[in-house]
Amino acid sequence: MMQGSVNRHREATLRLVVRGQGAEQEIEAVIDTGFDGYLTLPAGVIAALGLRWRSRGGALLADGSGSIFEIYEGTVIWDGALRRILVHGVETTPLLGMGLLEGYALRIEVRHGGRVVIDAL
C-alpha cells in the first residue's frame, strides 16, 4: 500500500523516489488519470538525475493542441520495489499517470489533507 494526500488545490499527490544514473531525488507528483504514461518530469530534474534518453513522443492535449516531448528511462521505488519506467520530459508539475497505476486501486478522500491510498489489486 502507498499513501499520499490531497493538496489545497484538490489534487491527489504521491511522493516518489526517482533514480537515474548515480542519483536519486524524491518528488511529489500529481496523479493525472487523463495521462496514460508513467511519469512526467521537468528538464532540470531529468538532467540532475542523469536519465538516459530513449526517444521522442507526441501527445494530444486536453485543449486539442499537440505536443512533442523527449522520453527518458528512469527507475522509481513503487510499492517498495524498484520499477523501470519511461519518463516524459514536460515543463510542468510532475504528473503520475495511469501507466504506473495499472494493476492498482486508487482511493481519494477529496478534501484538503484527504488521504490518497494506492493498493495492489
Sketch the domain layout of the chain as residue ranges.
11-102
Give 78-96 pLDDT, tens digit per residue: 999 999 999 999 999 999 9
Q: What is the mean pLDDT of the chain?
A: 94
Q: Phi and psi (nearest 5°) for 46?
A: -60, -45
Confidence band for 19, pLDDT divided at 50, 70 and 90: very high
pLDDT for 86: 97
- 8 A C-beta contact, residue 13 and residue 112: no
- 8 A C-beta contact, residue 66 and residue 59: yes
Mean pLDDT computed over 29-46: 96
- 8 A C-beta contact, residue 116 and residue 14: yes
pLDDT at residue 61 greater than cutoff 70: no
Question: Which CATH superfamily groups domain 11-102?
Answer: Acid Proteases (2.40.70.10)
Question: Structure pTM?
Answer: 0.91
Q: How far, in Å, CA of 55 to CA of 70, rounded?
A: 6
